[in-house]
């Protein structure tokens, strides 16, 4: 399991961008219609036949800015409350309880606050706040899941999840059989035990609907610091889900392992190779001198960067598509005739 796969599943930046755009469109009001002068009642024929001049309707009154129980700078908190209320859509008693908990008199009061926040935020600021709110929701679900089921993180045959993830990261460097056997020995395992442990952790992950285990695994995998971009992977894993003093999502520290454009180029190239039926790992090594582990570490860094700064995610789609077209190859089966 690569870092990029599971982090996109949890906190897909593209979905957050689309959700924010949809939310804004729902709040837009139709523009005011122009009014026209009334026809003359007691004027001469010539005057009465003259075309009427359109007159602009008076501007609508400025809406009263009401932030309710929140401050104007608490867009992330409002987004969190909105998501929580959406989750209780089919549970009126719970929804009423949440409205009271958050400090709203009723749903109409909340809607008025929603209009105020929507008219005060630009698209990028809104999307960033929604991303942070979703991250907070996910973390709360995971904390509740772990508190209710502490056994889900219990070691399997004495092997913790962190140890298993670290071994997987080392194996992903491309160890030969002799090197892997040595790694097993260093951790008190043989091949049979390792297979049981691996099966056990994979089974737990597949049954964990909150991705609590996958999150810990991903951080430990990238935190192992293996490969040529190991430091960047570790920085991404450490920053994931962290908030700074202002309550904003924290980005990874350290130098960029590559430019963002290069990252999108590699992503687009892999997509093109996969569609052409080519060996993606072999092409990754041939074209960029990278292993699957190296790519996973780049994903760790840039995925966390995109979560903390949504402007990167907004650029990624077009850039990736551009490079996918550039690297497009005829399908490996295109010359087959039946």
Mean pLDDT of the chain: 85
Whose tokens are 């996910």? That residue is: 138
Determine the pLDDT at residue 11.
45
| Confidence tier at 54 by pLDDT (50, 70, 90) | low
Q: pLDDT tens for residues 207-265?
A: 999 999 999 999 999 988 889 999 999 999 988 888 877 777 889 999 999 999 999 99
Average pLDDT over residues 46-59: 60
Residue 60 pLDDT more than 80?
A: no
Q: Which two tokens stand for residue 251?
A: 């980005």
What phi and psi values does residue 35 have, to the nearest 5 degrees? -100, 165
Long-range pairs for 197-201 at CB < 8 Å and ≥24 separation? 197/156, 197/157, 197/159, 197/164, 198/164, 200/156, 200/157, 201/156, 201/161, 201/164
Which residues face 159 on adjacent strands?
A: 156
> What is the rounded CA–CA span in Å between residue 283 and residue 274?
10
Whose tokens are 């990167």? That residue is: 312
Residue 325 pLDDT more than 80?
A: yes
| Confidence tier at 18 by pLDDT (50, 70, 90) | low
Ranges of each domain in the chain:
65-147, 155-224, 227-331
DSSP line for 63-84: PP---TTS-TT-HHHHHHHHHH
Q: pLDDT tens for residues 73-103?
A: 999 999 999 999 999 999 999 999 999 999 9
DSSP 53: P
């Amino acid at each position: 399991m690569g870092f990029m796969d599971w982090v996109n599943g949890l906190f897909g930046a593209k979905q957050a961008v689309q959700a924010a755009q949809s939310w804004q469109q729902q709040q837009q009001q139709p523009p005011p219609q122009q009014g026209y002068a009334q026809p003359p009642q007691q004027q001469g024929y010539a005057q009465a036949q003259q075309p009427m001049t359109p007159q602009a309707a008076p501007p609508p009154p400025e809406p009263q800015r009401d932030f309710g129980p929140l401050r104007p700078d608490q867009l992330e908190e409002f987004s969190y409350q909105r998501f929580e209320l959406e989750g209780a859509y089919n549970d009126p008693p719970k929804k009423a309880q949440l409205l009271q908990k958050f400090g709203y008199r009723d749903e109409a009061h909340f809607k008025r606050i929603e209009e105020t926040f929507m008219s005060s935020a630009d698209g990028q600021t809104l999307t960033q706040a929604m991303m942070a709110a979703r991250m907070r929701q996910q973390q709360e679900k995971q904390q509740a899941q772990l508190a209710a089921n502490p056994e889900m993180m219990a070691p399997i045959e004495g092997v913790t999840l962190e140890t298993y993830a670290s071994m997987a990261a080392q194996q992903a460097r491309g160890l030969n059989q002799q090197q892997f056997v040595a790694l097993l020995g260093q951790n008190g395992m043989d091949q049979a035990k390792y297979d049981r442990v691996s099966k056990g952790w994979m089974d737990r992950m597949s049954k964990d609907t909150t991705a609590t285990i996958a999150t810990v695994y991903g951080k430990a995998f990238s935190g192992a610091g293996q490969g040529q971009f190991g430091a960047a992977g570790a920085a991404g894993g450490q920053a994931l889900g962290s908030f700074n003093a202002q309550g904003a999502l924290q980005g990874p520290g350290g130098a960029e392992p590559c430019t963002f454009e290069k990252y999108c180029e590699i992503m687009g190239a892999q997509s093109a190779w996969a569609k052409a039926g080519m060996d993606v790992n072999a092409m990754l090594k041939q074209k960029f001198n990278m292993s699957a582990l190296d790519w996973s570490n780049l994903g760790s860094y840039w995925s966390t960067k995109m979560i903390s700064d949504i402007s990167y995610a907004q650029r990624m789609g077009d850039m990736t598509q551009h490079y996918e077209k550039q690297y497009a190859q005829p399908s490996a089966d295109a010359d087959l005739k039946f």
